């Protein structure tokens, strides 16, 4: 049985660790994490939160030669909640505008447009009729 070489990487905010290891063919993602020793060095590592080349993969995924196994950290905050909070803090409260007011505003803006030629204007209006 031949051996494969894979890179196992783990990134912290101020430190990145990469280990190149040789494994027997048919090894899984969990085997690579275990063989790299990163799980011992960083006990917070969860082998179920890992992927191959940026794509999440199961712990039982079979590795190929020259794969890069990436171990992911959990998110500090939920991105949806951060966007909601940002939107709520920057939201400008406007008074509600009625349908009639919106329509009259749109008509005023449309009537203020200048056409380059009379033919273009008549063609444009004919298309809407």
pLDDT confidence bin for 25, thresholds 50/70/90? very high
pLDDT tens, residue by residue, 44-94: 887 778 999 989 999 899 999 999 999 998 777 888 888 888 887 776 666
pLDDT at position 44 is 83
Architecture of domain 3-71: Roll (3.10)
Check: CB of residue 52 under 8 Å from CB of residue 69. yes
Centre a 10 Å sphere on the Cβ of residue 51 and count the other Cβ atoms it contains: 16
Chain centroid offset of residue 94 CA: 32
pLDDT at position 114 is 56
């Amino acid at each position: 049985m031949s051996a494969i070489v894979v890179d196992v990487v783990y990134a912290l905010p101020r430190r990145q660790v990469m280990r190149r290891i040789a494994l027997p063919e048919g090894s899984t993602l969990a085997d690579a994490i275990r063989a790299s020793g990163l799980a011992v060095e960083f006990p917070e590592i969860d082998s179920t939160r890992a992927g191959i080349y940026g794509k999440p993969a199961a712990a039982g995924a079979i590795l190929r030669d020259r794969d890069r196994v990436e171990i992911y950290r959990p998110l500090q905050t939920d991105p949806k909640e951060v966007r909601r909070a940002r939107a709520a803090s920057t939201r400008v409260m406007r008074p509600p505008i009625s349908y009639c007011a919106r329509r009259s505003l749109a008509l005023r803006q449309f009537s203020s447009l200048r056409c380059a030629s009379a033919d273009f204007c008549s063609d444009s209006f004919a298309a809407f009729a």
